[in-house]
Amino acid sequence: MTVTIGKPVDDFTAKATSGISVSLKDLKGKTNFVLYFYPKDNTPGCTSEGQAFAENLDAFKEADTIIFGVSKDTMKAHENFKAKYEFPFELISDSNEELCKLFDVIRLKKMYGKEFMGIERSTFLIDKEGTLQHEWRKVRIKNHVEDVLQAAQALEGMVEPITSTLDKSSDN
């Protein structure tokens, strides 16, 4: 089963950097959280997306929202990526694609004339009750983190709610 806006997200447990385990049941009732799925550690787009979330971390904390990056990379690759760019949040290794399948982010992609299955850049905002409140699919990095932050702030009554969760199209 995949996620649906306005519905509870199925419980999950995943390994993350810093030797921690992230589970919905542990987060439920405590904090809102963002899962942003990205294709690959140490690539230009994924690095700039991680840096944008890092630059806005204090504002997300004020909105009682924590950030998790998710890709299929190994834990070792994640630890190196996190350390290299000093990301102040944890990265989840989803090498078995359990979270990718739950959030339906694996898509047929093309690069250099070759087709392969990979992660479509996507972001999900889950509230304190474990309900999916917003999703962004086919993400373009420019202004994306600001859109996610505004949605997180709206959950906490800090700003007016955003009117649409449709794909935001802007340049990378």
In a domain, 163, yes or no: no
pTM: predicted TM-score of the whole model, two decimal places: 0.89
Distance of CA 47 to the CA centre of its chain: 13
In a domain, 5, yes or no: no
- Secondary structure (3-state) at 8: strand
In a domain, 167, yes or no: no
How many domains does the chain fold into?
Answer: 1
Look up residue 35 and give its amino acid. L
User: What's the pLDDT score for residue 166?
Assistant: 45
Domain that holds residue 21: 13-155
In a domain, 26, yes or no: yes
User: What's the pLDDT score for residue 161?
Assistant: 62
User: What's the pLDDT score for residue 114?
Assistant: 87
Query: Residues in the chain with pLDDT < 70?
Result: 1, 161-172
- Enter the tokens of residue 74: 């190994």
Of the candidates 46, 100, 119, 145, the residue annotated as catalytic is: 46
Rounded Cα gap, residues 84 and 42, in angstroms: 9
- Enter the tokens of residue 84: 């290299």
User: What's the pLDDT score for residue 109?
Assistant: 84
- Enter the tokens of residue 163: 């009117």
In a domain, 166, yes or no: no
- Phi, psi of 104, deg, nearest 5: 55, 55
CATH code of the domain covering residue 111: 3.40.30.10
In a domain, 77, yes or no: yes
In a domain, 43, yes or no: yes
pLDDT digits (tens, 9 = 90+) for 125-134: 999 999 999 9
Burial 60-78 (b: 16+ CB within 10 A, else e): beebbbbbbbbbbbeeebb
Rounded Cα gap, residues 159 and 47, in angstroms: 28
User: What's the pLDDT score for residue 162?
Assistant: 57
Rounded to 5°, the CA angle 70-105-19 comes to 20
pLDDT digits (tens, 9 = 90+) for 28-68: 999 999 999 999 999 999 999 999 999 999 999 999 999 99
Residue 46 annotated as catalytic: yes
User: What's the pLDDT score for residue 163?
Assistant: 54
In a domain, 70, yes or no: yes
